[in-house]
Structure 1
């Protein structure tokens, strides 16, 4: 696991461990980052240009087989992160809580990282049995990763899924993603962890399926215009005890008028939302956001703090 988010603390568990016959190499070519997986079945190459994927490593039937063999020998290894977690907790103090981000699970990993949307759906149609076996294999390995997370020192774990019906149909979600997420949730709850799913896309049409996961909350639940899921709609289906961690839409918080931040919060944070376990997250990862916008939110909060 990477440190991430600018923190000088590395959380290592669960550690990815490919089999000995896999050699991973990185190189740079101008703005492109190239990663080669040297395997017994050939070289699987991924290319990113300025951080965006332009070539996926699994792009043929032959590479599916090599990738399957990689996962057959793959292991997730538990590491003791208690000291690093303690340092992070000391930094946060009483100003917040920490949730351990990890993921994604099998389907979004294939869609976003290792196959891409086009390859994934063509392969699922053309080589269904091979793909089904691959998905089941990956998930069986990830159960060990979920166990490592469930046995970590943190009180909450967020599975970073990026779920959206723009690239995952309700049928695919119901067959694969939802059961995988349900397994994650059950392992977290078995170990008294709060289980949260990061779903930053369009999820309104699968809320009834998300409910079946039994999750405690949804991170980055996105209302219109960027998303399609009003916060209260999620409460309607998953219940008023659902933890929602969401943010102001970028058309308001980043590109809109600073003077409009307060009125938009008045509109969005209804009495029902206020009475639910809702967290307003001011997401600014990767985009420069002026301090005055954070101060506008602070002034709005100050109205209610007496």
Structure 2
């Protein structure tokens, strides 16, 4: 059985002979390893490990923004990446810097600091529309065809408005202060962001060849409250899932944080899987919590980045504790939780993969 079929059976909660395994490797990972791994593609590295290949949801969406009176300018040099949202009323700057340790971009200046900034960003997104990018779609179609049955291809549609607001536009502290001080203005921005997200979702659903549509939520009660999730994220994601279901597509939510208090609400969402369902100490939930509260949902996770810094024996012991506690193993995919830490060598990942293939799965 090839990787795509294994993935699809797990997503549908169907029994398998073994538990699928996906070490979440970004494109930078091979180049940070010693030879021969540094010369391998991700597909070659997954094949060497023996894992179930999943093309990361960083492929091109096949859509691009269009503007009439507004514009966005980007400037990227070295470790700095600036995005300038420009409108007739003014402009706001979003700045990120690259962190070598995590191999990821982090905000160092959020575009929203004041009420005026909220209005400028609302004006910008009111002017924006999404259109097809035929050239990029053709590239994605070629890539998808080349992967074939050897892996799962996914694409990210975006992020729901509240999480976009908290993580990127305002930052955690200012996001809550501004939402409390200017609820009408912030909620107007949310409504505009949601219109754009639905517009983008429709285009991707109808035109993109990916097997899975992702929403990059990073959900966590360390960032938002359960009440806020119920008020904003749940209805927004429900609108997205309705479009996806009408188009008979599959959808994952990327949620890598504290989820235990959200699980009763998450169980009501019409989605196929929760991805990066990480475990303690980085979160407050276990696979058993997820399976108990969401019995019909595929759970993709079961470990965390801290665990992967330990020995292979300690990693497999941690995975065993999670798996042994479950009533069955249908709809479970073991991953690195979030992105695999670059200091974790391929030999260790392969050792864990080999162990998992021998684990007595109960399907």
When the two structures are superposed, what TM-score results if normalisation uses the length of structure 2?
0.75
2:108 to 25, 30, 54: 54
CA distance in 2, matches of 1:23, 1:196: 29
Deviation readout 1:128-169 (Å, 9 max, x if unpaired): 111111111211221111111221222321111000011111
The aligned residue for residue 316 of structure 2 is: 262
Report which stretch shifted further, 183-192 or 262-271: 262-271
1:44 to 92, 96, 100: 92
How many pairs does the alignment contain?
300
CA RMSD of aligned residues (A): 2.6
CA drift at 1:82: 5.5
CA distance in 2, matches of 1:49, 1:18: 27
CA distance in 2, matches of 1:178, 1:259: 39
The aligned residue for residue 243 of structure 2 is: 187
CA drift at 1:53: 1.4
CA distance in 1, matches of 2:68, 2:287: 44
The aligned residue for residue 280 of structure 1 is: 334
Task: Please say if 1:218 is aligned against 2:266.
Answer: no
1:26-41 aligned at under 5 Å gives the runs 26=75, 28=77, 31-41=79-89
Whether the aligned pair in 1 keeps the contact of 2:216 and 2:254 (CA below 8 Å) is yes
The aligned residue for residue 92 of structure 1 is: 147
Whether the aligned pair in 2 keeps the contact of 1:157 and 1:194 (CA below 8 Å) is yes
Deviation readout 1:2-47 (Å, 9 max, x if unpaired): xx8468995242322344432414254x754333223212231122
CA drift at 1:180: 0.8
CA drift at 1:286: 5.9
When the two structures are superposed, what TM-score results if normalisation uses the length of structure 1?
0.87
Select the structure with the greater relative contact order (CA < 8 A; seq sep ≥ 6).
Answer: 2
* Structure 2: runs of 5 or more not aligned: 1-25, 29-41, 43-54, 99-104
CA drift at 1:178: 0.8
Whether the aligned pair in 2 keeps the contact of 1:56 and 1:114 (CA below 8 Å) is yes
1:16 to 55, 62, 65: 65
Describe the shift of the 1:65–1:290 C-alpha distance in structure 2 as closer, same or farther (beyond 3 A): same
Describe the shift of the 1:65–1:262 C-alpha distance in structure 2 as closer, same or farther (beyond 3 A): closer
